[in-house]
């Protein structure tokens, strides 16, 4: 089959690599426009574009795909390129643009999406982070037939994956990227054999993984220690978690763990102890031990190194 591809970050790049390694012809790749990044804010190509360029694949980077939208000219060019590519199917993974019906119906077999959860749980933009934040025991990959809804299409294949108690969004992302790359090749092989059987998503168990906002990075000490520990893991590496010292200095959190279910005498946000093991902070319920921290302009350090030049914070309030 001729497999067109639409994706942008490393999660998608893994799938594109797998398609190429499996020998599929990829006549066209769609990815997001180059974005400024790094200290110099220079334009950088997406991981998918880099893979495509290395394989000498045709690449388009439209800012939109709606023919009646703001970027109608670019959308028309993308539509024409998809028709010219004569793709049997379009594989989509973390592309970042909504596909209108005019695109969904172009390939012979439509569009298949590699989604980072076990649907219908965690439809939406941030399924990896929200699964960790919620304390889910497992997640996985769903290969689905795309329709006009938000991750509402029929399920084609699923593969579950246990969430390790130490998983961060970064480590779980890598595991799911590998799993998704393998599953899409398996799915396309089955599609060629006529052995891919769509199943409607259950109507119960639907949850939505809202896009992560930067303002979610602030530690809310009225939450339980368990909730905050999960939040730290869910938001590593982005947007991270942080709090303010009494003098206003912003401190980033690199790792933390919940110590106990009940709180000793203290107010949420009060430092109960500052030791080489970590910064113990009273929460709405329980105590959170922060084991890795970063001062403004510094590097992420273990608590033993982080506390060396500073005063004892015991008894002080964090915000």
At residue 246, the pLDDT reads 92
Cα distance between residue 17 and residue 7, in whole Å:
12
Torsion over CA of 43, 7, 16 and 236, rounded to 10 degrees? 80
Q: What does residue 44 show for φ and ψ, rounded to 5 degrees?
A: -125, 140
Instruction: State pTM to two decimals.
Output: 0.95
Cβ atoms of 184 and 91 closer than 8 Å:
yes
The residue among 100, 98, 129, 135 whose CA lies nearest residue 116 is: 129
At residue 277, the pLDDT reads 93
At residue 262, the pLDDT reads 66
**pLDDT tens, N- to C-terminus, the chain (319 residues):** 999 999 999 999 999 999 999 999 999 999 999 999 877 888 999 999 999 999 999 999 999 999 999 999 999 999 999 999 999 999 999 999 999 999 999 999 999 999 999 999 999 999 999 999 999 999 999 999 999 999 999 999 999 999 999 999 999 999 999 999 999 999 999 999 999 999 999 999 999 999 999 999 999 999 999 999 999 999 999 999 999 999 999 999 999 999 976 667 789 999 999 989 999 999 999 999 999 999 888 999 999 898 876 778 899 999 9
At residue 261, the pLDDT reads 65
Cα distance between residue 266 and residue 284, in whole Å:
10
At residue 32, the pLDDT reads 97
Domains of the chain: 3-209 (3.40.50.170), 214-306 (3.10.25.10)
Cis, bond preceding 68 (omega within 30 deg of 0): no
Cα atoms in the 13 Å half-sphere on the side-chain side of 215: 0
- What is the per-residue burial (b if ≥16 Cβ within 10 Å, else e) of 180-190? bbbbbbbbbee
Please give the full DSSP string across 55-98, using - where no structure is assigned: TT--EE--S---TTSTTHHHHHHHHHHHHHHT-SEEEEES--SP
């Amino acid at each position: 089959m001729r497999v067109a591809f639409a994706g942008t970050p490393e999660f998608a790049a893994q799938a594109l690599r797998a398609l190429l390694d499996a020998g599929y012809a990829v006549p066209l790749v769609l990815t997001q426009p180059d974005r400024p990044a790094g200290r110099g804010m220079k334009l950088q190509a997406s991981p998918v574009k880099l893979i495509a360029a290395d394989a000498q694949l045709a690449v388009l980077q439209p800012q939109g795909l709606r023919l009646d939208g703001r970027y109608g000219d670019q959308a028309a060019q993308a539509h024409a390129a998809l028709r010219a590519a004569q793709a049997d199917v379009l594989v989509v993974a973390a592309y970042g643009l909504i596909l209108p019906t005019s695109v969904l119906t172009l390939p012979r077999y439509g569009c298949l999406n590699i989604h980072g959860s076990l649907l219908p749980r965690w439809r939406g933009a941030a399924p990896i982070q929200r699964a960790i934040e919620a304390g889910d025991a497992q997640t996985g990959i769903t290969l689905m037939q795309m329709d006009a809804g938000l991750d509402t299409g029929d399920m084609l294949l699923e593969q579950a994956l246990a969430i390790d108690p130490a998983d961060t969004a970064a480590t779980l992302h890598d595991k799911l990227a590998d799993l998704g790359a393998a599953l899409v090749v398996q799915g396309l092989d089955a599609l060629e054999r006529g052995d891919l059987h769509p199943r409607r998503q259950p109507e119960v168990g639907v949850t939505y993984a809202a896009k992560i906002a930067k303002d979610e990075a602030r530690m809310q000490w009225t939450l339980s220690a368990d909730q905050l520990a999960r939040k730290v893991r869910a938001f590593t590496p982005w947007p991270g978690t942080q709090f303010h010292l009494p003098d206003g200095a912003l401190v980033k959190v690199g790792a933390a763990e919940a110590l106990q279910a009940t709180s000793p005498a203290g107010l949420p946000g009060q430092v109960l102890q500052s030791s080489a093991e970590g910064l113990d902070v009273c929460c709405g319920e329980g105590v959170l031990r922060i084991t890795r921290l970063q001062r403004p302009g510094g590097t992420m350090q273990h608590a033993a190194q982080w506390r060396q030049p500073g005063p004892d914070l015991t008894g002080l309030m964090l915000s």
